Amino acid sequence: MTKKLSGNEIRQTFIDFFVEHGHTAVPSMSLVPGGDATLLFTNSGMVQFKDVFLGTDKRPYKRAVDSQKCMRVAGKHNDLDDVGRDDTHHTFFEMLGNWSFGDYYKKEAIAWSWQLLTDVWGLPKAKLYATCFEDDQGHIPSDDEAADIWKEQPGFDPSHVLFFGRKENFWQMAETGPCGPCSEIHIDLGEERDNLRGTDHICGVNGQCTRYLELWNNVFIQYNLFDDGHLEPLPQKHVDTGMGFERIVSVLQGVDSNYKTDLFTGSLDVLRSLTGHSQEQMYADFTPYRVVCDHARAAAFLIADGVVPGNAGRNYITRMIIRRAARFGTKIGLREPFLAKVAEAVIEEYGSFYPELVKSRGAILDNLTREEIRFARTIESGTAQLENLLSELRASNQTTLNGRRAFDLYATYGLPFEISRDIAREHGLDVDEEGFKAAREEHSLASGGGKAMGKTGGEDAEFFAGILKDLQKHKKLGEHGVEYDPYTSPRLEGEVLALVTNGQSVESVSFGDQVQVMLPKTGFYIESGGQVDDTGYIRAERSASGDEAWEIEVTSMRRASAGVIVHVGEVISGQPKVGDLAVAEVDIRRRHDIMRNHTATHLLHAALHQVLGEHARQAGSLVAPDRLRFDFNHPEAMTPEQIERVEQIVNDAVAADMEVTPKLKAREDAIAEGAMALFGEKYGETVRTITIIDSEGLLSPAQKQASGLQTLAEAVVHPASVAEHQPKYSYELCGGTHLERTSDIGAFIIVSEGSAAAGVRRIEAVTGRGAYDLIAHRFKLLKRTAAIVKSSVEELPFKVESLQDEVADLKKELASLRTQQAMKMMESQFSSVQKVKDVNVLAMQVPNSDMDTLRMLADKFREKYPNNAIAVLASGTAVISALTNDIVSRGMKAGDLITAIGGRGGGRPNMAQGSLPDPAMVNDAMSEVVKVVEEKLI
Chain residues binding Zn ion by CB under 5 A are 194, 203, 209, 211, 734, 736
Nearer to Zn ion, 686 or 927 (CB): 686
How far apart, in whole angstroms, are the C-alpha atoms of residue 735 and residue 525?
10
Q: Which is nearer to Zn ion, 443 or 738 (CB)?
A: 738
User: Which is closer to Zn ion, CB of 195 or CB of 834?
Assistant: 195
Q: Which is nearer to Zn ion, 241 or 730 (CB)?
A: 730
Instruction: Indicate the angle between helix axes 106-114 and 144-152, nearest 10 degrees.
Output: 40
Closest contact distance (angstroms) between CB of 526 and Zn ion is: 15
Q: How far is the CB of 598 from Zn ion (least distance, A)?
A: 6
Q: Which is nearer to Zn ion, 208 or 711 (CB)?
A: 208
In angstroms, what is the minimal distance from the CB of 644 to Zn ion? 24
Written as one string, the DSSP assignment of 556-618 is EEEEEETTEEEEEEEEEES--BTT-EEEEEE-HHHHHHHHHHHHHHHHHHHHHHHHH-TT--E
Question: DSSP letter at 819?
Answer: H
| Shortest reach from residue 687's CB to Zn ion, in Å | 12
| Min dist. Cβ of residue 457 to Zn ion (A) | 27
Q: How far apart are CA 276 and CA 269, in angstroms?
A: 10
- Asked whether the beta carbons of 668 and 694 are under 8 A apart, the reply is no
* Rounded least distance, CB 590 to Zn ion, Å: 18
Q: What is the DSSP letter of 312?
A: S
Cβ at position 201, least distance to Zn ion in Å: 6
CB of 743 to Zn ion, least distance (A): 18
* Helix, coil or strand: residue 48: helix
Tell me how far apart the alpha carbons of residues 873 and 867 are, in angstroms, rounded to a whole number.
Answer: 18
User: Which residues are CB-neighbours of 439 under 8 A, at least 6 positions away?
Assistant: 403, 404, 406, 407, 408
Closest distance of CB 648 from Zn ion, Å: 22
Dist. CA 65–CA 674, nearest whole Å: 68
What one-character-per-residue DSSP string does 212-234 give? EEEEEEEEEEEEEE-TTS-EEEE
Give the number of other CB atoms < 10 A from CB of residue 422. Answer: 18
Please state the closest distance from residue 256 (CB atom) to Zn ion, in A. Answer: 14
Rounded distance between C-alpha atoms, residue 304 and residue 298, angstroms: 10
> Measured from the CB of residue 646, what is the shortest distance to Zn ion in angstroms?
17
Q: Write out the DSSP string of 329-356.
A: HHHTT--S--HHHHHHHHHHHHTTT-HH
Residue number, 337 or 736, with CB nearest to Zn ion: 736
Beta carbon nearer to Zn ion, 204 or 876: 204
Q: How far is CA 101 from CA 14, 28, 425, 931, in A?
A: 19, 17, 46, 37
Shortest separation between residue 181's beta carbon and Zn ion, angstroms? 26
Nearer to Zn ion, 200 or 685 (CB): 200
Distance CA 532, CA 594 (A): 8
Least spacing, CB of residue 335 vs Zn ion, in Å: 38
> Which residue stretches of 830-921 are H helix?
851-864, 885-889, 894-900
Compute the half-sphere exposure of residue 258: CA atoms within 13 Å on the CB side of its CA: 23
Of 264, 308, 280, 299, nearest in space to 88 by CA? 264
878-883: strand order across its sheet: 834-836, 839-845, 869-875, 878-883, 911-915, 904-908
For 149-166, b where at least 16 C-beta lie within 10 A, e where not — what string? bbeebeebeeebbbbbeb
CB of 212 to Zn ion, least distance (A): 8
Q: Which residue, 169 or 730, has its beta carbon nearer to Zn ion?
A: 730
Alpha helices for 123-264 (secondary structure H): 144-152, 166-169, 245-252
The amino acid present at 385, given as its one-letter code, is: Q
Shorter beta-carbon distance to Zn ion: residue 692 or 872 = 692
Q: Shortest gap between Cβ of 540 and Zn ion (angstroms)?
A: 34
In this complex, which beta carbon is closest to Zn ion, that of residue 628 or of residue 734? 734
Q: How far is the CB of 604 from Zn ion (least distance, A)?
A: 11
883, 896 Cβ separation under 8 angstroms = no
Nearer to Zn ion by Cβ, of 180 and 736: the residue is: 736
The three-state secondary structure class of 110 is: helix
For residues 488 and 523, the answer to whether their CB atoms sit within 8 Å is: yes
Helix axes 361-395, 403-413, angle to 10 degrees: 140
Whichever of 180 and 625 has its CB closer to Zn ion, that residue is: 625
Cβ-based nearer residue to Zn ion, 94 or 631: 631
Contacts of 175 (CB under 8 A, 6+ apart): 225
Comparison of 29 and 671: residue with beta carbon closer to Zn ion: 671
Nearest approach, Cβ of 94 to Zn ion (angstroms)? 28
User: Which backbone phi and psi does 802 adopt, to 5 degrees?
Assistant: -70, -35
Whole-angstrom Cα distance, residue 842 to residue 829?
8
With respect to Zn ion, which residue has the nearer C-beta, 314 or 592?
A: 592
Nearer to Zn ion, 409 or 676 (CB): 676
